[in-house]
Structure 1
Amino acid sequence: MHLSPLTVALPGQVWGVAAPGPDGPLVATTYDGDNLSRTVLTALDASGAVLWKHRADGHPYPPLVSVSGTVWIAQRDAGCYVLTELDLAGAVLRSVALDHEPHEHLGAFVLLPDGFCVSWLPANRSRVVPAGRVPRVARHDERGETVWSTSIPLGSLKLEDLDSAEHPGPPREPRTLAASRWQPLLVSADRIAAGFADDGSGIGVTLFLDTAHGSVVAQTLPGPRGRCAIAAPGEFLIGEQGYSFFRTTRYDRTGMAAQRWSSHGLLLIDRHGGVRGPESENIRRLRSRFRGLAENGTLLGGPLLRGYYTTYPALDSNGTAVFWREGRLLTVDADLRLRELFLSEDDRAVMGRILLLADGLVVFSLGSDLLFFRDTGLGPLDDGPWPCGGGNLNGNPVRYQ
């Protein structure tokens, strides 16, 4: 198969792309050119034509699409964080000022049926955290007022429970904190998984909280937090990679580790509960595979994968995964057979997630560009709990069933 992509240049580096459904339109947040403190929200149709743009103050966050098809973005307005809702024509419907302390910074947010769940940082991610300040997770109503708030005293993020000879590295006391780089805030049924990490070392923890009241159910041990996913109602997959860690753990709704695999990657979970995806191992790059994770903790060996940098894949209803890796658009079918759809010399490492839209249209970002691939032969997106990055086309990792 020979494909030729359509490339659409956006105003700056892309931070997220979402869609209300398989027919589009697409919405993307980017920097405003070289201005790193301005967000541009761009809407495009399935042909790549720009429909409208909206500019806002503040560093970009990924856009989230509600179940009713409206678009939400975060912005910083006169020292306060505001969530703004727009319709698909680009009109501002409302702005919600979130209740928070002046020194706090927005880590991540997701949309709930009756408001928002937000992780708050005690300082800007690039600034040293003042003594006595801690992050927190909060639930806000539709007006932005606090329903509940839970402070998170993280303590030490050292790998103190591990043998330093077996797990070498520079673990140290954290000085700066960030919402975890990958999937920082997930909501599944009556549980929330919130990740925080030392911005310097990447060592972090995941907190499991009760959705209704905000009480902490459990907390993982400190580790190099990696890719995560919603596995089932109240259950999560938490990956760890770095400092000789290369594993994924399934946590049940009590916060206990129910299963562990010696692999880490960009996971997909289909409607039957099957788990698979491409590994991204940055030490032994020639040993990464597309893996299946069996229920008994064993690994199903798929094709070898060269390179490391990978878009978060998407899974179609036939069990075929599609992803971009090292300049190639690849698919791996349900029988773990690899197929190359497109080859280029494009080695850009700043990339987003795959959006699988109607008629097999594949869209993803590289740097400040959106790439559109048509006629891929792929089916519609699977309806499992985690068939793509963000858990759905809306980019809102919230599931109640």
Structure 2
Amino acid sequence: MDPRLRGPAQRGPHLRRPAPGHHRFPRVHPLGQPRSGPAARPGGRRPDHRTGGERGAALPGGRFLLGLEGYDFYDTWEHDRDGTVLDSWRSYGHYVIGTGIRVVETDRRIPTGSRVVRLLPGGVIERGPALNDPTGPRPLVLDDGTILALDAGELRAVDRRLGGTVLAELLPIAPDRASGHICALSREGERVTAVIAEPLPGHPTPYAVHTWTLRLHPPRT
């Protein structure tokens, strides 16, 4: 990791709330200083769409995923084009469709048991790297299928084989406090921008906003 990424971020203005393989990961370099500023089986019970936390994703052939989190739900269902349940998994989060179905889980629990996983036929879950943030933001997906996830102040990369590494340590956040932060990732060309809004001590709504802009570089050969 570039040692320049280890420096503390500057505090910005307050915001009031409105099996690791041999994959070569991309490298990131900073552009300047941080700126301020129970599951249903096929043919079984269908999910209650009134439950909070609904997410979905389109699959080939008119199939689709529906995920629900809340109350007794922490589940993903695969449906055909007519809405019939084909498969289900005890997993939920941000769906990444490409080489199979990967999920950056968001279980909203402390301590969290979230991971980056792959959903396999028959309700089987292949488990990858553990995460520290129970409510992580939507990840980015690079052209080679690598997932970039902002996880409790760290920028993580997870490849198609579920091998993971930390690309940058941005802001130290204790895992039991991660859910109180508001985070986002965005990309424009080779530039990746990470934003973390940090709650100020003793105040429930004002935030200090930290922004990092990093450049992606091809992996070293």
Matches within 5 A, 1:213-232: 221-222=48-49, 224-232=51-59
Q: What is the TM-score when the length of structure 1 is the normalising length?
A: 0.38
2:105 aligned with 1:275: no
Q: Are 2:107 and 2:135, in contact at CA under 8 Å, matched by a contact in 1?
A: no
Report if aligned partners of 1:355, 1:363 keep a CA contact under 8 Å in 2: yes
Give the distance between the partners of 1:275 and 1:13, measured in 2 at CA. 37
Give yes or no for contact 2:194–2:213 (8 Å, CA) kept in 1.
no
Contact 1:235 1:253 in 2 (8 A): yes
**Letter of the 1:277 counterpart:** V
How big is the shift at 1:336?
0.9
What corresponds to 1:239 in structure 2? 67
Task: Tell me the residue number matched to 2:213.
Answer: 373
Q: Measure the CA separation in 1 of the matches of 2:51 and 2:130.
A: 24
CA–CA separation in structure 2 for the residues paired with 1:296 and 1:351: 34
Q: Deviations over 1:137-157 (max 9, x none)?
A: xxxxxxxxxxxxxxxxxxxxx
Q: Given the alignment, which residue of 129, 140, 152 partners 1:326?
A: 152
Superposed displacement of residue 372, structure 1: 3.2
Indicate which of 143, 147, 160 corresponds to 1:317. 143
Counterpart selection for 2:88 from 243, 257, 260: 260
AA of the residue aligned to 2:58: A
How far apart, CA to CA, are the structure 2 residues paired with 1:324 and 1:336? 16
Q: Secondary structure at the match of 2:144?
A: coil
| Residues 225 and 238, structure 1, Cα contact 8 Å, conserved in 2 | no
1:327 deviates by 1.6
Aligned amino acid, residue 345 of structure 1: P
Report how far residue 356 of structure 1 moved.
2.8
In 2, the alpha carbon distance for the partners of 1:375 and 1:239 equals 33
Q: Which runs of 5+ in 2 are unaligned?
A: 19-30, 39-45, 198-207
If asked which structure has higher relative contact order (CA below 8 Å, sep 6+), I would say 2
How well do the aligned residues superpose, as a CA RMSD in angstroms?
Answer: 3.5
SS in 2 for 1:226: coil
Q: Is 318-327 or 224-233 further displaced after alignment?
A: 224-233
Instruction: Give the alignment's TM-score, normalised by structure 2.
Output: 0.64
Q: What's the counterpart of residue 302 of structure 1?
A: 128
Q: Deviations over 1:182-201 (max 9, x none)?
A: xxxxxxxxxxxxxxxxxxxx
The aligned length equals 176
Distance 2:89 2:14 in 1: 41
Distance 1:318 1:13, change over 3 A: farther
Percent sequence identity over aligned pairs: 22
Segments of structure 1 that go 5 or more residues without pairing to the other structure are: 16-45, 49-165, 167-218, 380-401
Which residue identity is paired with 1:362? V
Deviation string 1:311-344 (CA, Å, 9 cap, x unpaired) is 2101112121111111211111112111112222
Alpha-carbon distance change, 310 to 292 in structure 1, aligned in 2, over 3 angstroms: same
1:357 matched residue in structure 2: 188
CA distance in 1, matches of 2:147, 2:79: 24
What pairs up with 1:27-106 in 2 under 5 angstroms? none
Equivalent residues of 1:240, 1:247 under 8 A apart:
yes
Deviation at 1:230, TM superposition (A): 2.5
The letter of the residue matching 1:349 is: H
Do the aligned partners of 1:247 and 1:264 also contact (CA within 8 Å) in 2? yes
When Rg is computed on C-alpha atoms for both structures, the one with the higher figure is 1
Which residue of 291, 309, 315 corresponds with 2:117?
291
TM superposition shift of 1:286 = 4.4
CA distance, structure 2, for counterparts of residue 277 and residue 376 of structure 1: 23
Greater helix proportion: 2
**Distance in 1 between the 2:218 and 2:54 partners?**
25
The structural deviation recorded for 1:374 is: 1.6
Determine the C-alpha separation between the residues in 1 that align with 2:218 and 2:89: 29
Cα distance change of structure 1 residues 332 and 220 upon mapping to structure 2, 3 Å threshold: same
